[in-house]
Protein backbone atom coordinates (compact mmCIF):
# COMPACT_ATOMS: atom_id res chain seq x y z
CA UNK A 1 0.00 0.00 0.00
CA UNK A 2 2.86 2.31 0.83
CA UNK A 3 4.27 1.96 -2.68
CA UNK A 4 1.06 3.05 -4.28
CA UNK A 5 0.92 6.32 -2.44
CA UNK A 6 4.62 7.02 -2.71
CA UNK A 7 4.27 8.27 -6.27
CA UNK A 8 2.36 11.43 -5.47
CA UNK A 9 3.85 12.23 -2.08
CA UNK A 10 6.92 14.03 -3.31
CA UNK A 11 4.76 16.24 -5.51
CA UNK A 12 3.09 18.13 -2.69
CA UNK A 13 5.60 20.97 -2.70
CA UNK A 14 5.63 21.61 -6.48
CA UNK A 15 1.85 21.34 -6.55
CA UNK A 16 1.43 23.91 -3.83
CA UNK A 17 4.03 26.13 -5.46
CA UNK A 18 2.26 26.04 -8.83
CA UNK A 19 -1.14 26.52 -7.20
CA UNK A 20 0.08 29.63 -5.41
CA UNK A 21 1.57 30.82 -8.69
CA UNK A 22 -1.78 30.31 -10.50
CA UNK A 23 -3.70 32.13 -7.81
CA UNK A 24 -1.18 34.95 -7.87
CA UNK A 25 -1.55 35.19 -11.64
CA UNK A 26 -5.33 35.28 -11.38
CA UNK A 27 -5.36 38.05 -8.81
CA UNK A 28 -2.82 40.09 -10.77
CA UNK A 29 -4.73 39.53 -14.00
CA UNK A 30 -8.00 40.56 -12.39
CA UNK A 31 -6.77 43.65 -10.60
CA UNK A 32 -4.06 45.07 -12.84
CA UNK A 33 -2.93 45.21 -16.44
CA UNK A 34 0.63 44.01 -15.81
CA UNK A 35 0.03 40.63 -17.42
CA UNK A 36 -1.26 41.95 -20.72
CA UNK A 37 2.19 41.51 -22.27
CA UNK A 38 2.27 37.80 -21.45
CA UNK A 39 -1.31 37.44 -22.51
CA UNK A 40 -0.82 38.98 -25.93
CA UNK A 41 2.39 37.00 -26.52
CA UNK A 42 0.54 33.76 -25.78
CA UNK A 43 -2.44 34.94 -27.81
CA UNK A 44 -0.15 35.43 -30.80
CA UNK A 45 0.96 31.82 -30.41
CA UNK A 46 -2.64 30.66 -30.40
CA UNK A 47 -3.92 32.81 -33.26
CA UNK A 48 -3.03 30.21 -35.98
CA UNK A 49 -5.31 27.76 -34.15
CA UNK A 50 -8.12 30.30 -34.16
CA UNK A 51 -7.73 30.76 -37.92
CA UNK A 52 -7.75 26.99 -38.33
CA UNK A 53 -10.94 26.62 -36.33
CA UNK A 54 -12.75 29.30 -38.32
CA UNK A 55 -11.79 27.82 -41.69
CA UNK A 56 -14.70 25.36 -42.15
CA UNK A 57 -17.50 27.92 -41.65
CA UNK A 58 -15.72 30.42 -43.89
CA UNK A 59 -15.15 27.79 -46.55
CA UNK A 60 -18.82 26.85 -46.32
CA UNK A 61 -19.89 30.44 -46.85
CA UNK A 62 -17.57 30.73 -49.86
CA UNK A 63 -18.92 27.57 -51.50
CA UNK A 64 -22.47 28.76 -50.84
CA UNK A 65 -21.71 32.05 -52.53
CA UNK A 66 -20.22 30.21 -55.54
CA UNK A 67 -23.30 28.09 -56.14
CA UNK A 68 -25.83 30.85 -55.80
CA UNK A 69 -28.25 30.89 -58.66
CA UNK A 70 -28.06 33.56 -61.29
CA UNK A 71 -31.58 34.77 -60.55
CA UNK A 72 -30.85 35.39 -56.96
CA UNK A 73 -27.74 37.30 -57.82
CA UNK A 74 -29.66 39.48 -60.24
CA UNK A 75 -32.34 40.14 -57.68
CA UNK A 76 -29.76 40.91 -55.06
CA UNK A 77 -27.92 43.20 -57.44
CA UNK A 78 -31.09 45.09 -58.20
CA UNK A 79 -31.87 45.46 -54.52
CA UNK A 80 -28.40 46.70 -53.79
CA UNK A 81 -28.55 49.20 -56.62
CA UNK A 82 -31.84 50.53 -55.34
CA UNK A 83 -30.58 50.91 -51.82
CA UNK A 84 -27.44 52.48 -53.18
CA UNK A 85 -29.53 55.08 -54.99
CA UNK A 86 -31.45 55.81 -51.86
CA UNK A 87 -28.33 56.06 -49.77
CA UNK A 88 -26.72 58.33 -52.31
CA UNK A 89 -29.72 60.60 -52.25
CA UNK A 90 -29.55 60.69 -48.49
CA UNK A 91 -25.83 61.23 -48.63
CA UNK A 92 -26.26 64.37 -50.69
CA UNK A 93 -28.38 65.80 -47.98
CA UNK A 94 -25.89 64.56 -45.40
CA UNK A 95 -23.03 66.32 -47.13
CA UNK A 96 -24.83 69.59 -47.04
CA UNK A 97 -25.63 69.09 -43.41
CA UNK A 98 -22.10 68.00 -42.66
CA UNK A 99 -20.70 71.13 -44.25
CA UNK A 100 -23.12 73.28 -42.40
CA UNK A 101 -22.31 71.47 -39.20
CA UNK A 102 -18.58 71.96 -39.65
CA UNK A 103 -19.10 75.60 -40.39
CA UNK A 104 -21.23 76.09 -37.34
CA UNK A 105 -18.80 74.19 -35.18
CA UNK A 106 -15.95 76.27 -36.51
CA UNK A 107 -17.96 79.31 -35.64
CA UNK A 108 -18.36 77.93 -32.18
CA UNK A 109 -14.70 77.17 -32.01
CA UNK A 110 -15.11 73.52 -31.06
CA UNK A 111 -12.67 71.03 -32.51
CA UNK A 112 -14.96 68.05 -32.61
CA UNK A 113 -14.19 65.41 -35.21
CA UNK A 114 -16.91 65.08 -37.81
CA UNK A 115 -15.92 61.93 -39.64
CA UNK A 116 -13.90 59.02 -38.32
CA UNK A 117 -11.85 56.66 -40.40
CA UNK A 118 -12.86 53.06 -40.26
CA UNK A 119 -11.39 49.75 -41.34
CA UNK A 120 -13.39 46.61 -42.07
CA UNK A 121 -12.71 43.40 -40.18
CA UNK A 122 -14.34 40.01 -40.14
CA UNK A 123 -15.29 37.83 -37.21
CA UNK A 124 -13.46 34.58 -36.61
CA UNK A 125 -15.81 31.80 -35.55
CA UNK A 126 -14.16 31.05 -32.26
CA UNK A 127 -15.94 30.23 -29.06
CA UNK A 128 -14.69 32.00 -26.02
CA UNK A 129 -15.59 31.57 -22.42
CA UNK A 130 -19.38 31.01 -22.33
CA UNK A 131 -19.80 33.41 -19.40
CA UNK A 132 -18.34 36.32 -21.26
CA UNK A 133 -19.20 38.25 -24.40
CA UNK A 134 -16.03 38.36 -26.43
CA UNK A 135 -15.46 38.06 -30.16
CA UNK A 136 -12.34 37.57 -32.21
CA UNK A 137 -11.51 39.64 -35.31
CA UNK A 138 -9.29 38.64 -38.23
CA UNK A 139 -7.23 41.83 -38.13
CA UNK A 140 -4.59 42.85 -35.65
CA UNK A 141 -1.81 45.27 -34.93
CA UNK A 142 -0.36 44.72 -38.43
CA UNK A 143 -3.53 46.30 -39.82
CA UNK A 144 -3.29 49.19 -37.42
CA UNK A 145 -5.67 47.95 -34.76
CA UNK A 146 -4.82 49.12 -31.28
CA UNK A 147 -6.29 48.29 -27.89
CA UNK A 148 -9.16 50.56 -26.98
CA UNK A 149 -10.51 51.20 -30.48
CA UNK A 150 -14.27 51.18 -30.85
CA UNK A 151 -15.94 48.49 -32.98
CA UNK A 152 -19.27 49.08 -34.73
CA UNK A 153 -21.50 47.32 -37.21
CA UNK A 154 -23.91 48.99 -39.61
CA UNK A 155 -26.48 49.59 -36.86
CA UNK A 156 -24.46 50.80 -33.93
CA UNK A 157 -21.72 50.31 -31.37
CA UNK A 158 -20.65 46.70 -30.80
CA UNK A 159 -17.78 47.02 -28.35
CA UNK A 160 -14.12 47.81 -28.00
CA UNK A 161 -10.83 46.09 -28.73
CA UNK A 162 -9.32 44.82 -25.50
CA UNK A 163 -6.39 42.84 -26.77
CA UNK A 164 -4.62 42.76 -30.11
CA UNK A 165 -2.05 40.38 -31.52
CA UNK A 166 -0.32 40.85 -34.91
CA UNK A 167 -3.14 39.10 -36.78
CA UNK A 168 -6.14 38.95 -34.48
CA UNK A 169 -7.89 41.16 -32.00
CA UNK A 170 -10.24 40.37 -29.15
CA UNK A 171 -13.28 42.60 -28.81
CA UNK A 172 -15.33 42.96 -25.66
CA UNK A 173 -18.97 43.47 -26.63
CA UNK A 174 -21.06 46.12 -24.91
CA UNK A 175 -23.11 43.28 -23.44
CA UNK A 176 -20.16 41.77 -21.54
CA UNK A 177 -20.80 41.80 -17.79
CA UNK A 178 -17.57 43.75 -17.30
CA UNK A 179 -18.36 46.39 -19.89
CA UNK A 180 -19.79 49.83 -19.36
CA UNK A 181 -20.26 52.58 -21.90
CA UNK A 182 -20.97 56.26 -21.45
CA UNK A 183 -24.24 57.12 -23.21
CA UNK A 184 -26.59 60.01 -23.69
CA UNK A 185 -30.32 60.18 -24.48
CA UNK A 186 -30.90 61.82 -27.86
CA UNK A 187 -34.19 63.21 -26.65
CA UNK A 188 -33.04 65.27 -23.71
CA UNK A 189 -29.29 64.85 -23.44
CA UNK A 190 -29.37 63.07 -20.08
CA UNK A 191 -26.07 61.25 -19.61
CA UNK A 192 -25.82 57.81 -18.13
CA UNK A 193 -23.77 54.66 -18.20
CA UNK A 194 -24.99 51.47 -19.88
CA UNK A 195 -23.74 48.24 -18.32
CA UNK A 196 -23.67 44.87 -20.03
CA UNK A 197 -25.28 42.00 -18.16
CA UNK A 198 -24.18 38.99 -20.16
CA UNK A 199 -27.11 38.58 -22.54
CA UNK A 200 -26.77 39.92 -26.06
CA UNK A 201 -30.08 41.77 -26.14
CA UNK A 202 -29.87 43.77 -22.92
CA UNK A 203 -27.99 46.72 -21.52
CA UNK A 204 -28.75 48.10 -18.09
CA UNK A 205 -29.03 51.75 -17.16
CA UNK A 206 -28.88 52.06 -13.41
CA UNK A 207 -29.42 54.99 -11.08
CA UNK A 208 -31.24 57.40 -13.34
CA UNK A 209 -32.81 60.26 -11.40
CA UNK A 210 -36.53 59.82 -10.70
CA UNK A 211 -37.24 63.08 -12.44
CA UNK A 212 -35.54 61.94 -15.65
CA UNK A 213 -37.93 61.84 -18.58
CA UNK A 214 -37.11 58.32 -19.81
CA UNK A 215 -39.55 56.15 -21.70
CA UNK A 216 -39.46 52.91 -23.70
CA UNK A 217 -38.41 53.72 -27.25
CA UNK A 218 -35.91 56.40 -26.32
CA UNK A 219 -32.70 56.24 -28.29
CA UNK A 220 -29.24 56.19 -26.72
CA UNK A 221 -26.05 57.38 -28.38
CA UNK A 222 -22.46 57.45 -27.17
CA UNK A 223 -21.70 60.61 -25.27
CA UNK A 224 -17.96 60.50 -25.94
CA UNK A 225 -17.22 61.03 -22.27
CA UNK A 226 -14.53 58.70 -21.02
CA UNK A 227 -12.59 59.06 -24.24
CA UNK A 228 -12.96 55.47 -25.40
CA UNK A 229 -15.86 55.77 -27.79
CA UNK A 230 -16.33 58.54 -30.34
CA UNK A 231 -19.45 60.60 -29.63
CA UNK A 232 -22.87 60.34 -31.32
CA UNK A 233 -22.88 56.72 -32.46
CA UNK A 234 -26.15 54.87 -31.81
CA UNK A 235 -25.93 52.40 -28.93
CA UNK A 236 -29.32 51.13 -27.86
CA UNK A 237 -33.07 51.66 -27.59
CA UNK A 238 -34.77 51.67 -24.21
CA UNK A 239 -37.22 48.77 -23.88
CA UNK A 240 -38.43 49.04 -20.31
CA UNK A 241 -38.20 51.42 -17.40
CA UNK A 242 -38.69 50.41 -13.78
CA UNK A 243 -38.95 52.51 -10.67
CA UNK A 244 -37.59 50.67 -7.68
CA UNK A 245 -39.48 52.08 -4.69
CA UNK A 246 -36.78 51.03 -2.19
CA UNK A 247 -34.16 53.34 -3.60
CA UNK A 248 -34.81 56.70 -5.15
CA UNK A 249 -33.65 55.80 -8.61
CA UNK A 250 -35.08 54.67 -11.90
CA UNK A 251 -33.40 51.87 -13.82
CA UNK A 252 -33.95 50.98 -17.44
CA UNK A 253 -33.24 48.10 -19.80
CA UNK A 254 -32.16 48.89 -23.34
CA UNK A 255 -31.69 46.74 -26.42
CA UNK A 256 -28.41 47.23 -28.27
CA UNK A 257 -28.76 48.55 -31.80
CA UNK A 258 -25.90 46.49 -33.20
CA UNK A 259 -26.69 42.85 -33.97
CA UNK A 260 -24.21 41.53 -31.43
CA UNK A 261 -24.88 37.88 -32.11
CA UNK A 262 -25.21 37.87 -35.89
CA UNK A 263 -22.91 40.43 -37.47
CA UNK A 264 -20.08 38.90 -39.47
CA UNK A 265 -18.44 42.05 -40.77
CA UNK A 266 -17.61 44.86 -38.42
CA UNK A 267 -15.95 48.25 -38.64
CA UNK A 268 -13.11 49.30 -36.40
CA UNK A 269 -13.03 53.04 -35.87
CA UNK A 270 -9.69 54.80 -35.97
CA UNK A 271 -9.89 58.20 -34.42
CA UNK A 272 -8.01 60.75 -36.54
CA UNK A 273 -6.36 62.30 -33.58
CA UNK A 274 -5.57 60.17 -30.58
CA UNK A 275 -7.88 61.39 -27.89
CA UNK A 276 -6.65 61.08 -24.36
CA UNK A 277 -7.50 57.70 -22.92
CA UNK A 278 -9.01 57.83 -19.53
CA UNK A 279 -10.16 55.05 -17.30
CA UNK B 1 14.18 8.88 -32.58
CA UNK B 2 12.26 8.67 -29.35
CA UNK B 3 12.42 12.43 -28.86
CA UNK B 4 10.50 12.97 -32.12
CA UNK B 5 7.82 10.55 -31.07
CA UNK B 6 7.38 12.49 -27.85
CA UNK B 7 6.01 15.37 -29.92
CA UNK B 8 2.82 13.33 -30.15
CA UNK B 9 1.94 14.45 -26.63
CA UNK B 10 1.92 18.23 -27.26
CA UNK B 11 0.24 17.56 -30.59
CA UNK B 12 -2.71 15.81 -28.94
CA UNK B 13 -2.94 18.66 -26.44
CA UNK B 14 -3.06 21.17 -29.30
CA UNK B 15 -5.86 19.15 -30.90
CA UNK B 16 -7.64 19.31 -27.55
CA UNK B 17 -7.21 23.08 -27.51
CA UNK B 18 -8.69 23.37 -31.01
CA UNK B 19 -11.69 21.27 -29.96
CA UNK B 20 -12.05 23.52 -26.94
CA UNK B 21 -12.49 26.67 -29.05
CA UNK B 22 -14.44 25.06 -31.92
CA UNK B 23 -17.64 27.04 -32.42
CA UNK B 24 -20.76 25.40 -30.98
CA UNK B 25 -24.32 26.72 -30.71
CA UNK B 26 -24.62 28.58 -27.42
CA UNK B 27 -27.03 26.05 -25.89
CA UNK B 28 -24.49 23.29 -26.48
CA UNK B 29 -21.56 25.17 -25.05
CA UNK B 30 -21.98 24.09 -21.46
CA UNK B 31 -22.04 20.46 -22.57
CA UNK B 32 -18.70 20.77 -24.33
CA UNK B 33 -16.43 18.21 -22.69
CA UNK B 34 -13.21 19.56 -21.24
CA UNK B 35 -11.03 18.06 -23.96
CA UNK B 36 -7.77 19.40 -22.64
CA UNK B 37 -8.42 18.02 -19.15
CA UNK B 38 -9.32 14.59 -20.56
CA UNK B 39 -6.22 14.37 -22.76
CA UNK B 40 -3.99 15.61 -19.99
CA UNK B 41 -5.46 13.05 -17.60
CA UNK B 42 -4.74 10.23 -19.99
CA UNK B 43 -1.09 11.20 -20.49
CA UNK B 44 -0.62 11.75 -16.81
CA UNK B 45 -2.10 8.35 -16.09
CA UNK B 46 0.09 6.63 -18.67
CA UNK B 47 3.33 8.61 -18.32
CA UNK B 48 3.30 10.40 -14.97
CA UNK B 49 7.01 11.12 -15.17
CA UNK B 50 6.76 12.93 -18.48
CA UNK B 51 3.41 14.70 -18.24
CA UNK B 52 2.79 16.15 -14.83
CA UNK B 53 2.26 19.33 -12.92
CA UNK B 54 4.29 21.67 -15.11
CA UNK B 55 2.57 20.48 -18.27
CA UNK B 56 -0.77 20.99 -16.55
CA UNK B 57 0.20 24.50 -15.48
CA UNK B 58 1.42 25.62 -18.91
CA UNK B 59 -1.45 23.99 -20.79
CA UNK B 60 -3.87 25.67 -18.40
CA UNK B 61 -2.37 29.06 -19.21
CA UNK B 62 -2.81 28.43 -22.94
CA UNK B 63 -6.45 27.49 -22.40
CA UNK B 64 -6.93 30.67 -20.37
CA UNK B 65 -5.54 32.79 -23.18
CA UNK B 66 -7.58 30.98 -25.83
CA UNK B 67 -10.82 31.31 -23.90
CA UNK B 68 -10.28 34.77 -22.47
CA UNK B 69 -10.56 33.61 -18.87
CA UNK B 70 -8.34 34.87 -16.06
CA UNK B 71 -4.72 33.78 -16.45
CA UNK B 72 -4.26 30.89 -14.05
CA UNK B 73 -7.88 29.84 -13.79
CA UNK B 74 -7.61 26.66 -15.84
CA UNK B 75 -4.08 26.09 -14.53
CA UNK B 76 -5.33 25.90 -10.97
CA UNK B 77 -8.14 23.50 -11.83
CA UNK B 78 -5.87 21.25 -13.90
CA UNK B 79 -3.13 21.25 -11.26
CA UNK B 80 -5.52 20.02 -8.61
CA UNK B 81 -6.91 17.12 -10.64
CA UNK B 82 -3.45 16.16 -11.90
CA UNK B 83 -2.20 16.14 -8.32
CA UNK B 84 -5.04 13.84 -7.29
CA UNK B 85 -4.35 11.66 -10.28
CA UNK B 86 -0.65 11.42 -9.45
CA UNK B 87 -1.67 9.82 -6.18
CA UNK B 88 -4.12 7.36 -7.69
CA UNK B 89 -2.95 6.60 -11.21
CA UNK B 90 -1.54 3.17 -10.32
CA UNK B 91 -4.89 2.03 -8.97
CA UNK B 92 -6.79 3.61 -11.84
CA UNK B 93 -4.70 1.86 -14.48
CA UNK B 94 -5.95 -1.53 -13.35
CA UNK B 95 -9.61 -0.50 -13.07
CA UNK B 96 -12.08 -1.58 -15.72
CA UNK B 97 -13.38 1.13 -18.06
CA UNK B 98 -16.66 1.53 -16.14
CA UNK B 99 -14.91 2.37 -12.88
CA UNK B 100 -12.43 4.54 -14.72
CA UNK B 101 -15.33 6.53 -16.15
CA UNK B 102 -16.66 7.19 -12.68
CA UNK B 103 -13.21 8.20 -11.47
CA UNK B 104 -12.74 10.55 -14.44
CA UNK B 105 -16.19 12.01 -13.82
CA UNK B 106 -15.24 12.86 -10.24
CA UNK B 107 -12.04 14.56 -11.33
CA UNK B 108 -13.80 16.48 -14.10
CA UNK B 109 -16.44 17.58 -11.62
CA UNK B 110 -13.77 18.95 -9.28
CA UNK B 111 -12.16 20.68 -12.27
CA UNK B 112 -15.49 22.18 -13.31
CA UNK B 113 -16.39 23.29 -9.78
CA UNK B 114 -13.16 25.24 -9.48
CA UNK B 115 -13.71 26.89 -12.87
CA UNK B 116 -17.32 27.80 -12.18
CA UNK B 117 -16.55 29.05 -8.68
CA UNK B 118 -13.93 31.40 -10.02
CA UNK B 119 -16.43 32.65 -12.61
CA UNK B 120 -18.95 33.05 -9.81
CA UNK B 121 -16.50 35.11 -7.77
CA UNK B 122 -16.28 37.46 -10.74
CA UNK B 123 -20.08 37.84 -10.60
CA UNK B 124 -20.88 35.99 -13.78
CA UNK B 125 -23.90 33.87 -13.05
CA UNK B 126 -23.55 30.31 -14.30
CA UNK B 127 -26.54 27.96 -14.55
CA UNK B 128 -26.81 24.66 -12.70
CA UNK B 129 -25.86 22.66 -15.76
CA UNK B 130 -22.62 24.64 -15.94
CA UNK B 131 -21.48 22.38 -13.10
CA UNK B 132 -22.63 19.03 -14.42
CA UNK B 133 -22.91 19.36 -18.21
CA UNK B 134 -19.26 19.19 -19.20
CA UNK B 135 -18.25 16.48 -16.67
CA UNK B 136 -21.12 14.24 -17.83
CA UNK B 137 -20.21 14.47 -21.52
CA UNK B 138 -16.55 14.17 -20.58
CA UNK B 139 -17.26 10.94 -18.73
CA UNK B 140 -19.21 9.64 -21.70
CA UNK B 141 -16.34 10.09 -24.12
CA UNK B 142 -13.58 8.96 -21.76
CA UNK B 143 -13.50 5.34 -23.04
CA UNK B 144 -12.96 6.56 -26.62
CA UNK B 145 -10.27 9.00 -25.60
CA UNK B 146 -8.61 6.32 -23.51
CA UNK B 147 -8.57 3.75 -26.30
CA UNK B 148 -7.58 6.24 -29.00
CA UNK B 149 -4.71 7.73 -27.03
CA UNK B 150 -3.54 4.30 -25.90
CA UNK B 151 -3.29 3.20 -29.52
CA UNK B 152 -1.47 6.40 -30.41
CA UNK B 153 0.93 5.87 -27.53
CA UNK B 154 1.63 2.30 -28.60
CA UNK B 155 2.13 3.29 -32.24
CA UNK B 156 4.53 6.05 -31.26
CA UNK B 157 6.21 3.70 -28.76
CA UNK B 158 6.44 6.29 -26.04
CA UNK B 159 7.01 5.17 -22.52
- Bridge partners of A43, per DSSP, are none
Q: Tell me: the pLDDT tens digits for B26-37?
A: 777 788 899 999
Which residues from chain A sit within 8 angstroms of residue B53, using beta carbons? 11, 14-15, 18
Residue in chain A nearest B14 by alpha carbon: A49
Q: Could you tell me the residue range of the domain that residue B118 belongs to? A: 2-23+30-156
Query: Does residue A5 lie in a domain region?
Result: no
Residues of A in contact with B24 (CB under 8 A): 127
- How confident is the model over A87-139, as pLDDT tens digits? 888 888 788 888 888 777 766 655 455 456 778 888 887 666 777 788 888 88
Instruction: Give pLDDT tens digits for A220-272.
Output: 999 888 888 888 888 999 999 988 777 778 889 999 988 888 777 888 887 65
Show residues of chain A in contact with B122, CB under 8 Å: 30, 178
User: What does the longest C-alpha to C-alpha distance in chain A come to?
Assistant: 89
CATH number of the domain that residue A190 is part of:
2.40.10.350
Domain-embedded: residue A135: no
For B43, phi then psi, to 5°, come to -65, -35
Segment among A87-91, A275-279, B52-56, B57-61 with least mean pLDDT: A275-279
Q: Which residues span the domain enclosing A97?
A: 73-112
Nearest to B50 by CA among B13, B91, B96: B13
Number of domains within chain B:
1
CB contact under 8 A, B124 and A132: yes
Nearest to A132 among B54, B57, B68 (CB): B68
Q: Quote the pTM value.
A: 0.67
**Chain A environment of B61 (Cβ under 8 Å):** 25, 42
Q: How far apart are the CA of A33 and the nearest CA of chain B, in angstroms?
A: 12
How near does any CA of chain A get to the CA of B59, in Å?
Answer: 11
A276 DSSP 8-state letter: P
Within a domain: A85: yes
Query: Does any domain span residue A62?
Result: no
Per-residue exposure over B131-152, b if at least 16 CB sit within 10 Å of its own CB, e if not: bbbbbbbbbeebeebbeebeee
Query: Which residues, numbered 37 to 56 in chain A, qualify as contacts with chain B under a Cβ-Cβ cut-off of 8 Å?
Result: 38-39, 42-43, 45-46, 49-50, 52-54
Total domain count, chain A: 2
Residue of B36, B65, B126 for testing the chain A interface, max A β-carbons within 10 Å: B65
**d(Cα B125, Cα A130) in Å, to the nearest integer?**
11
ipTM: 0.83
Q: What are phi and psi of A249, to 5 degrees?
A: -130, 160
Residue A202: inside a domain: yes
Cβ of residue A268 closer than 8 Å to a chain B Cβ: no
Which stretch of A7-21, A98-112, B44-58 has the lowest confidence by average pLDDT? A98-112
Amino acid sequence: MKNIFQQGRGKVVPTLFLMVLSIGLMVTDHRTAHLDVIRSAAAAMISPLQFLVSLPPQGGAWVGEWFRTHNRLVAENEGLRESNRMLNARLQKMEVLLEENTRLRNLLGSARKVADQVSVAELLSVDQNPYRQLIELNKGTLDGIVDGQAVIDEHGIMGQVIQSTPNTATVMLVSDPEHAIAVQFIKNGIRSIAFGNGSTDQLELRYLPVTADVMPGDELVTSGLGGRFPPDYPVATVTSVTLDPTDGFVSAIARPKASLDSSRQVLVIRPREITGRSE
Amino acid sequence: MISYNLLVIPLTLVVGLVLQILPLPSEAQIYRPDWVALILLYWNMALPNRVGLWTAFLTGLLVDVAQGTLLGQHSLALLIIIFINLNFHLQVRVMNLGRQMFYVFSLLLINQFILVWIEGMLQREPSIMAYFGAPLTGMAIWPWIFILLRDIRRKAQIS
